[in-house]
Amino acid sequence: MLCALLAILIFPGVLAAESDDLLGRIWEGVQQAQEKYVSSCGTITETRMSSLMAKPLVLRGKFCAEGITRFSLDYFEPSSMRIRFNENYLNVTNDGKTEVMEIGKSVRRAQSYFGRDSALGNLKKNFTITAQEDSRDYEMKLVPRTDTFRRKLNYLVVKLDKKDFTLRSLEVDGKSGVNSVFVIDVNSMNPKLPPDTFEVYKPK
């Protein structure tokens, strides 16, 4: 999950020279982190808010990720939910039922678009960003520029640790009216993961 979320970092087309230099440093750091940290595990706290909810819903869980093709997430509070992604297949298990989805083609299309030498140019076409830093974090707010993303998102806010460019938090404000903030604590870098960590069911 960590690397997959980092892969959505988008850069604006027009920024002041100082901000452009900052984004350049962030971009380079993220690329180096993806090469250095092949796998990671940690805890995640998601807070969902909506005008239709009487109070925020707080979900807590643990995750592991390997590259940008394998990801596991187990929510244990307030209820159990299990999510697995392994290359082509996504499994979501809730209340004893597992939904099996084949999403590999869509994922590869996105990775190809945002992962080639022209990635930065492609990213600039789709989002505008404002960036800032403090003593601990880099923070970027990403606002969609094109209808492809504008139909689903109002904005994203990404925070990265300045020491190692690991993801600290991600805020997603959606067109559905739901705002979700994911606070991420990475406590293990490059762990040796059991083979069944990312085991998924495949469509029959």
Mean pLDDT, rounded, for 97-118: 70
Q: What are the tens digits of pLDDT across the range 162-171?
A: 999 888 999 9
Whole-angstrom CA distances from 153 to 23, 109, 172, 192 are 22, 19, 7, 35
What are the structure tokens assigned to 156, written together?
């994203």
Average pLDDT of span 26-31: 82
Ordered by start, the domain boundaries in the chain are 2-187
Mean pLDDT, residues 134-140 taken together? 90
pLDDT of residue 1 exceeding 50: no
Among 31-35, 92-96, 106-110, 144-148, the minimum mean pLDDT is found in 106-110
How would residue 83 be classed by pLDDT, with cut points 50, 70 and 90? very high
Cα–Cα dist 129/115, whole Å: 19
- CATH label, 2-187, candidates 1.10.10.1150, 2.50.20.10, 2.30.110.10, 3.40.50.12780: 2.50.20.10
Q: What global pTM score does this model have?
A: 0.80
Does residue 33 have a pLDDT over 70?
yes
Contact 169, 183 (CB under 8 A): yes
Query: Could you tell me the two tokens for 110?
Result: 């996105």
